[in-house]
Amino acid sequence: MTDPGGAVGSGGTGGPALELDGLVKEFRGRRVVHGLSLTVPRGSLFGLVGPNGAGKTTTLSMATGLLRPTAGVARVLGLDVWADPAAAKAVMGVAPDGMRLFEQLSGRELLHYVGGLRRMPHEVTAARAEELLGVLDLRTDARTVVADYSAGMVKKIGLAAALIHAPRLLVLDEPFEAVDPVSSETVRTILRRYVATGGTVVMSSHVMELVEGLCDRVAVVADGRVLADDTVAALTAGGSLHRRFLELVGAREGVGDGLGWLGTAPEP
C-alpha cells in the first residue's frame, strides 16, 4: 500500500511508542484496573491477551483517550494522552471493538469524513480511501451504508478509518473478530507491512494462536493486572502461548462435572 502523503513512521525515534504508568480505573467504587503499567517499544507488533473481563478494553480505552483513568498516566510517543489529547491523538489510529461508526454514511463517505476530521488534503484522502477500499476488498460495497455491512466488513472499514492518516501508533481491539480467513490474511499482511515501515501496533485478541503467529511481544492481563510481559519467543519457550496463558491465568478444573445429562435426549 503506497503512502500518498508521507511515511508512516516519520518523526522522532526515541522512547517507547506507548507507555502506561500506574493506570487505575474505578467504576462506582469498584476497581477494575489496578495500577497497570506497560511499555510498548517502537516498531513492535504488541499483543494484549486476557480472559473476558480482564480489563483489556478498559486499558486500551484509557490509553487512547476514550476513557479517563482514575489515576495514572498514558503516553503516546512521549505525549501525555490526557494532558495533550489533540497532539497524542494526531499520531494514533484507533479501532475500538464495538464502537459505533457513522453508520448512515457509505464506506467511501466514512473514509472521506475521517480524512476531513484529520484535516487531510481532499486529494490525499481520496487516493488513500480508494487504495484502502481496494486492499481490504470493500470497493464493491464502497457505496453501501455502513449500517448494512456485515460484522466483518465493519471491522475492515474501521481498520481503514484508523489507517487513513498514516498514524505512527495503531491500537486495535479484537481486529480479527468476525473477519473471514481470506480477509484475515490480508489484515495480517497490512499490519506486518505497517510495522516494517516504522509503525507500531498494539492489538488485543482472545485467539492465542493468532497472537503467537503475528506478534513479537505480548502482555497477559487478568483482573486488571499484568501477569506477564515479554517477547513471544520467551513466553512460549517449551510450549505454546495458549498453554502459557492457561498457566498464568489458571485454567478452571472440573468444567464438565455435573453435566452427565448431556447427550441423553430421548430418540425421536
What's the pLDDT score for residue 149? 94
Q: Could you tell me if residue 265 is inside a domain?
A: no
What's the pLDDT score for residue 53? 86
Q: Could you tell me if residue 239 is inside a domain?
A: no
Predicted TM-score (pTM) of the model is: 0.88
Q: Could you tell me if residue 127 is inside a domain?
A: yes
List Cβ neighbours of 212 (8 Å cut-off, separation of 6 or more). 218, 232, 236, 240, 241, 242
Q: Could you tell me if residue 113 is inside a domain?
A: yes
Question: What is the edge-to-edge ordering of all strands in the sheet holding 79-80?
Answer: 30-40, 18-27, 71-76, 79-80
Q: Is 203 helix (H, G, I), strand (E, B) or coil?
A: strand
What's the pLDDT score for residue 8? 45
Q: Could you tell me if residue 158 is inside a domain?
A: yes
Cβ atoms 187, 175 nearer than 8 A: yes
Question: What's the number of domains the chain is made of?
Answer: 1
Q: Could you tell me if residue 145 is inside a domain?
A: yes
Cβ atoms 37, 23 nearer than 8 A: yes
Q: Could you tell me if residue 155 is inside a domain?
A: yes
- Domain range for residue 108? 95-166
Question: pLDDT tens digits, the chain, 268 residues: what are they?
Answer: 444 344 444 444 578 999 999 999 999 889 999 999 999 999 999 999 999 889 999 999 999 999 999 999 999 999 999 999 999 999 999 998 877 788 899 999 999 999 999 999 999 999 999 999 999 999 999 999 999 999 999 999 999 999 999 999 999 999 998 899 999 999 999 999 999 999 999 999 988 999 999 999 999 999 999 999 999 999 999 889 999 999 898 766 666 677 777 777 777 7
Q: Could you tell me if residue 191 is inside a domain?
A: no
